[in-house]
Amino acid sequence: MTAMLQPRYAAKVHEHVSAPRRRYYFERAAETMPRVQLAQLQLRRLRASLKAAYEKVPFHRERMRALRLRPEDIRSLEDARALPFTLKSDLRDHYPFGLFARPRETLARLHASSGTTGKPTVVGYTAADLATWASLMARSLACAGVRPGDLIHNAYGYGLFTGGLGAHYGAERLGTTVVPMSGGQTERQVALLQDFGARVLCATPSYALNIAEVAEREGVDLREGSLAIGIFGAEPWSEAMRAEIERRLGLKAIDLYGLSEIMGPGVAVECEAQDGLHGWEDHFLFEIIDPETGRAVAEGDTGELVITTLSRQALPMIRYRTRDITRLSTQRCACGRTHLRLRRITGRNDDMLIIRGVNVYPSQIEAVLVGLPGIAPHYQLVLERRGSLDELTIEVEADGPAPVIEERVRHHIKSMIGVTAAVRVLGPGAVPRSQGKAVRVRDLRPKSA
Ligand code: DLL
């Protein structure tokens, strides 16, 4: 952080964190519920949700029957570990509405996420589901430091993606003023951020960086303006990226997690302590499993996040395997919320690269690249196959002499992650800029591989 920026940024953060010391919650009773009570509520809701899934969704009924399980056999939260997992492919196999527990005519909205292959995953919501989602998203925004009356510039994409509308209705529910900007038209975003004086920016972290870059190019210093909080999610990002975005936009960057199969944004969010994301346990049951064996790991161990919905009417999800890698903590948080915390999601199981036997996530490479002197924080990873080996080329943009940068990046990646990668230094602006979820990997390996 430059000396020039520090006082102003510090003043903004100070004012918003410590002005009235009274803690603010959107749903105080639910957010601070003692954990014993929370577990009782979870069990009650789990049993009701399983019963509905069993009665209304043939897929769930048949799979439970195959295991000789009936909903009433689940008498404790531990018993839930006997239930079968649900996979993304199950949603695809029952495209479009096959896993819905309510008739399509009774639903209020559909969303869909485009997969890299084949059919999209379609999810549905009753009016009550939408109300729950808005409340959980409002709760998440408040947890991040947003307050009624704030102006929120929402740059998550509107449409089938859950980001735009999900954040939008949560923001309205909290009592803020929303600017439904969506993604793209970045010059216009910069102008409106300035003219309207937004205090909060909602965007993917990669798009937030794009906004910062365009503002700088246009000679607009957003750090001087009103922005105080960024609510960033929908893709993996690193602590290094957080520091970079906070420095360039002059705000506090908060991590927001969610997925359409479970709800959309607002499943978990950081509080102002920025020390893990509170997962809303009154509506979701969180587990971490070993992705290889499917068995539960000890609390604090890293593995795949599995989520069961406890209140969703249209699309109850039983033990949904998210593919996201994280770990859980139930330790008390300084903010007073009792709900467990997920660690930053380092990446998805499917995104893991294996380079000469070394497992590496794109976000680990990002953590090394962002902040290295001489390069811009934009990158892409190119995967190719030579013979039987996968090879990685890291494309970066340089402001300095290419050979020096190449060597610097190669050296740091090798020493910090243990992977040998080729480095290609491109000119300014050559790495495609994100409008939403950034494309970090270009996989040029033959399809059969
Ligand atoms: O990305 C929902 C969302 C919108 C979350 C806006 C946050 C903000 P999907 O398109 O279904 O839903 O993608 C879900 O994105 O399984 C993760 O792999 C990834 N993801 C979402 N949030 C984070 C995050 C939305 N904070 C998939 N950190 C998830 C890392 C994230 N990965």
- pLDDT band for 388, please (50, 70, 90 cuts): confident
- Ligand 1 lined by 351 (C-beta under 6 Å): no
Domain end position, chosen among 350, 385, 412? 350
Asked if the bond preceding 96 is cis, omega within 30° of 0, the reply is yes
Residue 392: pLDDT above 90? yes
Please report the pLDDT score of residue 14 as a whole number. Answer: 45
Please report the pLDDT score of residue 448 as a whole number. Answer: 63
Q: What is the mean pLDDT of residues 33-58?
A: 98
Cα of 322 from ligand 1 centre, angstroms: 10
Contact 300, 35 (CB under 8 A): no
Residue range of the domain that includes 378: 352-443
Measured CA to CA, the distance from residue 206 to residue 319 in angstroms comes to 30
Residue 93, in any domain of the structure: no
- Ligand 1 lined by 225 (C-beta under 6 Å): no
Residue 8 is part of a domain; what is its CATH number?
Answer: 3.40.50.12780
Contact 385, 449 (CB under 8 A): yes
Per DSSP, 209 falls in state H
- Ligand 1 lined by 259 (C-beta under 6 Å): yes
Q: What are phi and psi of 356, to 5 degrees?
A: 45, 50
Examine the domain organization and report whether 313 and 205 are in the same domain.
yes
Residue 324: pLDDT above 70? yes
Contact 403, 337 (CB under 8 A): no
Contacts of 401 (CB under 8 A, 6+ apart): none
**pLDDT tens per residue, range 66-112:** 999 999 999 999 999 999 999 999 999 999 999 999 999 999 999 99
Beta bridge partners of 222: none
Examine the domain organization and report whether 296 and 409 are in the same domain.
no
Examine the domain organization and report whether 340 and 362 are in the same domain.
no
Examine the domain organization and report whether 138 and 211 are in the same domain.
yes
Residue with CA closest to ligand 1 atom 4: 163
Residue 160, in any domain of the structure: yes
Contact 267, 342 (CB under 8 A): no
**pLDDT tens per residue, range 271-290:** 999 999 999 999 999 999 99
Residue 39, in any domain of the structure: no
Q: Which bin fits 317, alpha (ψ -120 to 50), beta or left (φ > 0)? A: beta
Q: Of ligand 1's atoms, which has the minimum distance to the CA of residue 323? A: 16
Cα of 342 from ligand 1 centre, angstroms: 13
Please report the pLDDT score of residue 7 as a whole number. Answer: 41
Q: How many domains does the chain have?
A: 2
Cα of 35 from ligand 1 centre, angstroms: 26
Examine the domain organization and report whether 225 and 338 are in the same domain.
yes
Residue 163, in any domain of the structure: yes
Cα of 419 from ligand 1 centre, angstroms: 27
* pLDDT more than 90, % of the chain: 87
Contacts of 386 (CB under 8 A, 6+ apart): none
Beta bridge partners of 386: 389
| Residue 193 vs residue 7, higher pLDDT | 193
- Ligand 1 lined by 236 (C-beta under 6 Å): yes
**pLDDT tens per residue, range 18-40:** 445 679 999 999 999 999 999 99
Dihedral sign, CA of 196, 200, 201, 202? negative
Measured CA to CA, the distance from residue 289 to residue 287 in angstroms comes to 6
Domain end position, chosen among 306, 332, 350? 350
Examine the domain organization and report whether 404 and 364 are in the same domain.
yes
Examine the domain organization and report whether 308 and 370 are in the same domain.
no
Cα of 235 from ligand 1 centre, angstroms: 5
- Ligand 1 lined by 265 (C-beta under 6 Å): yes
- pLDDT band for 1, please (50, 70, 90 cuts): very low
Residue 385 is part of a domain; what is its CATH number?
Answer: 3.30.300.30
Please report the pLDDT score of residue 371 as a whole number. Answer: 85
Using alpha carbons, list the distances in angstroms from residue 148 to 4, 140, 175, 277, 354.
Answer: 31, 13, 5, 22, 46
Q: Pocket of ligand 1, candidates 235, 270, 277, 352: which has the most ligand atoms within 8 Å of its Cβ, to mutate?
A: 235
Q: What is the mean pLDDT of residues 408-412?
A: 96
Examine the domain organization and report whether 364 and 339 are in the same domain.
no
Examine the domain organization and report whether 231 and 373 are in the same domain.
no
Alpha helices, DSSP H only, in 264-382? 362-369
Burial of 381 (0-12, 13-18, 19+ CB in 10 A): buried
Q: Of ligand 1's atoms, which has the minimum distance to the CA of residue 267? A: 5
